Amino acid sequence: MEKNKIINIKINGQEIKAKEGETILEAAYRFGIEIPSLCFHPDTPVKANCRVCVVEIKGMEDLPTACSTKVCEGMEIKTESVKVKAARKMNLELIFAEHIEKCPTCPLKSTCKLLAYARKYRLKINRFKDRKSKRKTYKFANAVEIDGTQCIDCRNCIDVCAQQGVNFLTLKNRGSDIEIVPVNDGKHDCVYCGQCAVHCPVASAQEQLHFQEVEKILKDKKDKIIVAQIAPSIRSSIGEIFNLPYGKIVTGQLVASLRALCFDYVFDVNFGADMTTIIEAEELIERLKNSKSVLPLMTSCCPAWVRFVEFYYPEFIPNLTTARSPHIHSAGIIKTYWAEKAEIDIKDVVVVSIMPCTAKKFEAQRKELRIKNRNLVDFVLTTRELGFLLERKRINLAKIEPQKADNPLGEHSGAAAIYGASGGVMESALRTTCDLLNKKEFGCIDFAAVRGAEGIKKANVKIGDRILKIAVANGLGNAKKLLEELKKNPKAFDYMEAMACPGGCIGGGGQPIPTTPKQRAERAKALYQIDRSKKIRMAHKNPQVKKAMDWLDKNEKLKHQILHTRYKKVKKPEALKK
Ligand code: SF4
Ligand code: SF4
Ligand code: SF4
Ligand code: FES
């Protein structure tokens, strides 16, 4: 087949130059022709099992599925003929028999394709009897769940969990009794990445919801001070829920929306990211200087990656940096330094992290991260949950007047802004490492080799006399490949970044649905744009972080607690423990 050969097809009478080898669905999307689809996702193999994307092809009796049928020269396709509409309607009505609607509390509601198709095709959603009312819900710790009563058997969750190298999900039974279940064999455990959730078209796999609890404390505050803190990556993704273009930066609108929800203060996790960078860079320098130290140093700000190491590769626990993750760092500062300055008792401060992530729900309640016997982050809401909360309160983020985050935890460097993209954590740490080592000749700002969506990136970077071997992985399947390489050659790298989700947090398990490669690319581009727009682009130059660090220097014991953590080998699966 000639590469990129152009062929002529017609869709709904419109002449189109399609690429040989692409599917009808791909060709149609490129030309802005929408064909309804549910099970199709560009990240997973085509399974063609929902049959919502059926089309009519001239000369063909059957209706093939657009997601699995490749274009041919001269093909004439109708996407909305009478025959197509009747078949699609029937298929959708059958899907509604698989999916018990729970719309009032479903964070997918405003972007739900099923509901949109129900309206478009005037479905009788109760035409067929619900077949799944007795299915179980499986809860994975406090982070993710799979509700069998909503599942339409598309199997995307099984595919992505396998791509993550976790293989925690499988199929039970056959035919109409088919069910998605966790593997309970003692050898597999969920790591809470939420990739099953962000690839589920019908919110059967989803985050465990905590927005109702947050809604309640915002309504009934009593003497509490409710603080929101926003993660680096959500400012370039949440706009999609409000029909803004992919990658639109909405930091100010996000802050204003949270104030409209009655949060008392809105802080930026980017402040915490600057702290994480400093601790990680110091640790990198320390380990590079000391020949007995364990290398490669591995990033640890992704809790799903940490869990993956703790359960599947505990031999690499000593490699993980002891730096806490950004929202835990900033929450630690909020509940100590800031609370002291604001004269608020730690017990009266409630911190809500708005995250692209389901694993952060699990991380927030880890006992190792407590201070004075309290969790530092009280609630974690995903990007989707916040979007849903705003919709429930009729707050339109797209139209609200932007506002600034509160200081001191509203200030951040450009280095913090890129934390949400694969390679961003390492690039931030390299900037600070170079500068602290006083190797100014290096340039020390833009490390292009670690950027981009490629699953594995490797490079050698020169810091003074030393060549640092670095490796960056996004997606746990890719991280696993690097760990296997290290098992064979322990000196393969000096420094390694791993993020569980494709593209990093911009593709996180709590991000808007859908999240596709194109969306991830635009979201990442926006984060680098924020970085370039900042005068201060190195974490340790953030003056507010410096002040907080000076305060910690006077509180030696607290300093260690707030800045560092430890990890544990997990011998038995814990996700399904009650
Ligand atoms: S959260 Fe991640 S590890 Fe757990 S079941 Fe879903 S995809 Fe698999
Ligand atoms: S849980 Fe969601 S992604 Fe998994 S098979 Fe069911 S509908 Fe598909
Ligand atoms: S990559 Fe980001 S969103 Fe995904 S699990 Fe890790 S921290 Fe969470
Ligand atoms: S999207 Fe094509 S069969 Fe499901």
pLDDT score for 443: 61
Determine the Cα–Cα distance for residues 493 and 294; give it in Å rounded to an integer: 11
Region 402-429 average pLDDT: 97
- Same-domain check for residues 257 and 331: yes
Asked if 422 and 514 sit in the same domain, the reply is yes
CB 535 within 8 A of CB 265: no
What's the 567 CA to ligand 1 centre distance in angstroms? 20
Residues 338 and 481 in one domain: no
Tell me which DSSP letter residue 209 carries.
Answer: P
38 CA distance to ligand 2 centroid (A)? 10
**Structural tokens at position 119:** 């309206």
Cβ of 67 closer than 6 Å to ligand 4, yes or no, is yes
Confidence check: pLDDT of 4 > 90:
no
CA distances from 507 to 37, 150, 195, 387, 471 (A): 21, 23, 9, 16, 19
In the predicted model, is pLDDT for residue 183 greater than 70? yes
- 370 and 472 assigned to the same domain: no
Instruction: Give the mean pLDDT of 11-25.
Output: 97
Q: Which ligand 1 atom is at minimum distance from the Cα of 157?
A: 7
Residue with the smallest CA separation from ligand 4 atom 3 is: 48
Query: How high is the pLDDT of residue 126?
Result: 80
Our answer on whether the CB atom of 146 is closer than 6 Å to any ligand 2 atom is yes
Q: From the CB of 51, is ligand 4 less than 6 Å away?
A: yes
For ligand 1, whether the C-beta of 138 sits within 6 Å is no
Residue 55 reports pLDDT greater than 80 = yes
Ligand 1: residue whose CA is nearest its atom 8? 161
Task: Tell which phi-psi region holds residue 373, choosing left (phi > 0), alpha (psi between -120 and 50) or beta.
Answer: left
Which atom of ligand 4 is closest in space to residue 47's alpha carbon? 3
Domain of residue 298, CATH code: 3.40.950.10
Residue 442 reports pLDDT greater than 60: no
pLDDT exceeds cutoff 70 at 3: no
* Residues 310 and 236 occupy one common structural domain: no
The answer to whether residue 40 is domain-embedded is yes
Residues 316 and 343 in one domain: no
**Final residue belonging to a domain, choices 411, 432, 464:** 411
- The alpha carbon of 55 and the centre of ligand 3 are apart by a number of angstroms equal to 37
User: Among all chains, which residue has been given the structure tokens 């984060």?
Assistant: 527
Q: Give CA–CA dist 356/369, Å, rounded.
A: 20
Same domain for 399 and 429?
Answer: no
285/238 same-domain check: no
Query: Mean pLDDT over residues 37-41, rounded?
Result: 98
Best substitution site from 156, 171, 181, 196 to test ligand 2's pocket, by max atoms within 8 Å of Cβ?
156
Longest dimension (CA), the chain: 80
Looking at the predicted structure, is the pLDDT value of residue 166 above 60? yes
Sheet with 349-355, strands from edge to edge, namely 265-268, 225-230, 349-355, 379-382
Q: Residue 188 is inside which H or E element, if any?
A: none
Four-residue CA torsion sign, 15, 18, 23, 26: negative
Buried b (16+ CB within 10 A) or exposed e, 18-51: beeeebbbbbbbeeebebbbbbbbebbeebbbbb
Q: Is residue 239 part of a domain?
A: yes
Closest ligand (CA of 306): 3
Q: What are phi and psi of 284, to 5 degrees?
A: -60, -45
| One-letter identity of residue 498 | A
Q: Which two tokens stand for residue 463?
A: 């810091």
β-bridge partners, 374: 371
Regarding whether 520 and 498 lie in a shared domain, the answer is: yes
Q: Which residue has the higher pLDDT, 418 or 444?
A: 418
Nearest residue CA, atom 6 of ligand 3?
A: 302
Instruction: Indicate whether 320 and 450 sit together in one domain.
Output: yes
Lowest-confidence segment of 114-128, 340-354, 558-572 by average pLDDT: 114-128
CATH value at residue 350:
3.40.50.1780
- Average pLDDT in the 325-336 region? 98
How many Cβ atoms sit within 10 Å of the Cβ of residue 259?
Answer: 18
Residue 334 has pLDDT above 80, yes or no: yes
pLDDT at 215 over 80: yes
pLDDT of residue 1: 56
Length of the chain: 578
Instruction: Report whether residue 319 contacts ligand 4, using a CB cutoff of 6 Å.
Output: no
360 to each of 144, 303, 366, 406, 552, how far by Cα in Å? 11, 6, 10, 23, 25
CA–CA dist 426, 256 (Å, integer)? 31
Tokens of 124: 């009788």
Output DSSP code: residue 405. Answer: P
Q: Is the dihedral of CA 561, 565, 566, 572 positive or negative?
A: positive
352 touches 226 (CB < 8 A): yes
User: Which ligand 3 atom is at minimum distance from the Cα of 194?
Assistant: 5
Which of 411, 439, 471 is the last residue before a domain boundary? 411
Domain-embedded: residue 315: yes
The CATH number of the domain holding residue 38 is 3.10.20.740
Residues 6+ apart with CB under 8 A from 193: 164, 166, 304, 358, 359, 476, 500, 501, 509
> Nearest ligand, CA of residue 157?
2
Q: What is the pLDDT of residues 90-135, one digit of tens each?
A: 999 999 999 998 999 999 988 999 999 999 999 987 877 777 778 8
Sign of the Cα pseudo-torsion (489, 490, 496, 498, in order): positive
* Number of structural domains in the chain: 3
276 found inside a domain: no
User: How confident is the model at residue 359, as a pLDDT?
Assistant: 98
Which helix or strand (DSSP H or E) is residue 432 part of? helix 424-436
d(CA 405, ligand 3 centre) in Å: 23
pLDDT in tens, 258-282: 999 999 999 999 999 999 999 999 9
Query: Is residue 154 lining ligand 2, measured as CB closer than 6 Å?
Result: yes
Average of per-residue pLDDT across 512-540: 97
**Of the candidates 61, 80, 99, which is a domain's last residue?**
80
Q: How far is the CA of 511 from the centre of ligand 1 (A)?
A: 15
- Atom 3 in ligand 1: which residue has the minimum CA distance? 190
Residue 198's contacts (CB-CB under 8 Å, 6 or more residues apart) are 507, 508, 509, 510, 511, 513, 514, 515
Q: Supply the range of the domain harboring residue 307.
A: 281-324+413-541
Q: What is the pLDDT of residues 144-155, one digit of tens each?
A: 999 999 999 999
**Whole-number average pLDDT of the chain:** 95
**Do 455 and 367 sit in the same domain of this protein?**
no
Of 507, 497, 499, give the one whose Cα is nearest residue 527: 507
Q: How far apart are CA 419 and CA 323, in angstroms?
A: 14
Residue 431 lies in a domain: yes
Residue 407 belongs to some domain of the structure: yes
Beta strands in 426-551 (DSSP E): 456-463, 466-474, 495-499
* Residue 35 alpha carbon to ligand 4 centre in Å: 10
Residue 184: both structure tokens together? 């309970």
Per residue, the 3-state secondary structure of 503-518, as one string, reads CCHHHCCCCCCCCCHH
Ligand 2 site, residue 47, Cβ cutoff 6 A: no
Least confident of 41-50, 94-103, 223-232: 94-103
Rounded Cα–Cα distance for residues 332 and 320 (Å): 20
- Average pLDDT, stretch 228-237? 98
Choose one of 52, 155, 202 to mutate for the ligand 4 pocket test, by most ligand atoms within 8 angstroms of C-beta.
52
> Is any ligand 4 atom within 6 A of the Cβ of residue 24?
no
For residue 451, pLDDT beyond 60: yes
* pLDDT value of residue 466: 85
Kindly give the number of the ligand 2 atom that is closest to the alpha carbon of 156: 3
Output the CA torsion 246→251→257→258 (10° steps). Answer: 120
φ and ψ at residue 50, rounded to 5 degrees: -90, -25
Whether ligand 4 lies within 6 angstroms of the CB of 88 is answered as no
Q: Are residues 319 and 339 in the same domain?
A: no
In a domain, 190, yes or no: no
Q: Whose CA is nearest to atom 6 of ligand 2?
A: 151
Chain center to CA of 116: 25
User: Does the structure show a pLDDT above 90 at 507?
Assistant: yes
- 252 falls within a domain: yes
Between 186-195, 457-466, 503-512, the lowest mean confidence (pLDDT) is in: 457-466
436's tokens: 């602290």
Cα 68 to averaged position of ligand 4 atoms, centre (Å): 8
